[in-house]
Every structure is written in C-alpha cells, then in structure tokens.
Amino acid sequence: MSMPERDFGPGGGPAVKVSVSLRSGNIRAVRERVGARGFSAYVDAAVERQIERDLLEEALEANEAASEPIPQELRDEAAELFRSLKSTPELLEEDGWPAPEAG
C-alpha cells in the first residue's frame, strides 16, 4: 500500500486511479444511471457504503460476543419494519428506489 492510501480513512483523501474488473451487466447499469462521467463517483460511493456495512457487521458481532445474540423475535420485527419502510410510496420513484447521487 502506498503512503497516501495509508494516510486516509474510508471516504477520505484524493481520488487515485485504479483498475478493477466488473461484470458487464453492472457496468451497463451504472452507466445507465450516471453516465460515463459519474461512473467513478458512483463506484466510490458504493465501495464506501460496503465498508460501512462491513464495519457495522463487525460491531454487531462484537456486541453479540460481549452480551447475547439478538433474539430472533426482535430480528424478525426489525426485518418487517424495514420491508414496510422499503415499500412506502413516498420513498419510491416510478421505477423503484431512487439512484444515489454521484458526487
């Protein structure tokens, strides 16, 4: 890892060009949403969200190890709440969830 990458946390620092391989369908879907000029910002935002999810999962696992697992009843209740929010008409656009804005 080069020095500049070590100096910044997730979401920070200057943009650095890297090469990645993506499935063709994902490339097409991103280009349809943001065009060629917004591609990098869209992928960068997706990577940042995945890192946040990974960190959250690690924190939840650490919490469960320190206490007790969350009861299945509460997990089911949370899942149902999320499903109901996800289907709320005010949150949906014509074609489903709105695309995140690429910065």
The dihedral through the CA atoms of 84, 86, 92, 96 has a sign that is: negative
The first and second tokens of residue 103, run together, are 């910065």
pLDDT tens digits for range 68-90: 888 899 989 999 998 888 777 77
Helix residue ranges per DSSP H, the chain: 3-6, 24-34, 39-66, 72-86
Whole-structure pTM value? 0.61
Tokens 């650095």 -> residue: 16
Compute the distance between CA of residue 30 and CA of residue 77 in angstroms, rounded to an integer.
33
Q: What is the pLDDT of residues 27-43, one digit of tens each?
A: 999 999 999 899 999 99
